[in-house]
Structures are given as C-alpha cells and as structure tokens.
Structure 1
Amino acid sequence: MSAYDPEMLNIMRNALDQAWELLPQASKGNLPKIEMADRILRKAATGERDLARLRAAALAGTDIKHPALP
C-alpha cells in the first residue's frame, strides 16, 4: 500500500468529488463511490498526480469521457 502526502490526498479527494458531481444522478446507484475511489487509488499508485487524469480514471467505463471542468 502506498503512502500519500497531504497534497496528493487533496488531489485525490478533489478528483473523486469532481467525478461524483459529474456522474448523472441516475448512474450513481450503478457506480458506487467506493469503486470510483478505488480506481483513483489504483491510478495514483502508478505515480499519476494529475487531477484530470485521476478524475478520468474514476469515470472510466461511464459515458463521461472528457469532462470539462475549470
């Protein structure tokens, strides 16, 4: 298991929160938030630190491909 610094934890939390907000309400029952978090953790374990790529990993397999966020 990897250890993450506070900055990385913040990036991962933001990626999860943003991905969850982008997911349509009807889809939230089909894709548990814990599964999205697991996808982010697996991607982060490879060394990924980019918020957009971590968010995309959380949304993998959904119809949301390139979410536009500020």
Structure 2
Amino acid sequence: MKAVYSGAFDPETINLLRSVLDEAWESLRPEQQAQRSKSLLAVIILKLAATGERDPIRLRTHAVTEVTASEPTIDW
C-alpha cells in the first residue's frame, strides 16, 4: 500500500523529483517542448509522488505519457 502525501517532501525526495522532471523534459522532442510547459510535467510528477510513488522510471514514464497523450494531432 502506498503512503499518502503528508504535505511536504524530504530533501532526498525533492532531489529525486527534480531529477525526474529534468529527465522527462529532456526526453521530449523540441517541438513537444515548444507546445508544452515544464510546469505541466512538474504537476503530473508531484501528483504521482503525492500518492507515494518514488520510482524514477515510473514517475518519468507516467509524466511523459500524460503530456504526450494530450498532444494535438495535425492531419496534413
């Protein structure tokens, strides 16, 4: 069972989340970065971390999937 967010993250977790955010942002293509904000990625990561998730791969994968799933499709 995952822990529920208690209102604050410890310094180690903050460093982990910052690293996950940077890696998730860098994994996006430049055009994806131009269409999305890094803040949106941060919100997704923080919400997942608030449920107790600390696995960097799951955090990053979920955030990138969430951001790219809402991409507008251009039909040429």
Deviation at 1:2, TM superposition (A): 2.2
TM-score normalised per structure 1: 0.81
TM-score normalised per structure 2: 0.75
The structure carrying a bigger helix percent of its residues is 2
Q: Which runs of 4+ in 1 moved over 6 A?
A: none
Q: Please, what is the CA RMSD of the aligned residues?
A: 1.5
Q: Which has the larger radius of gyration?
A: 2
SS of the aligned residue for 1:28 comes to helix
**Structure 2 spans left out of the alignment, 5+ residues:** 1-5, 70-76
Deviations 1:13-38 (A, max 9, x none): 01000001110001102121000000
- Number of paired residues? 63
**Paired residue type of 2:43:** D
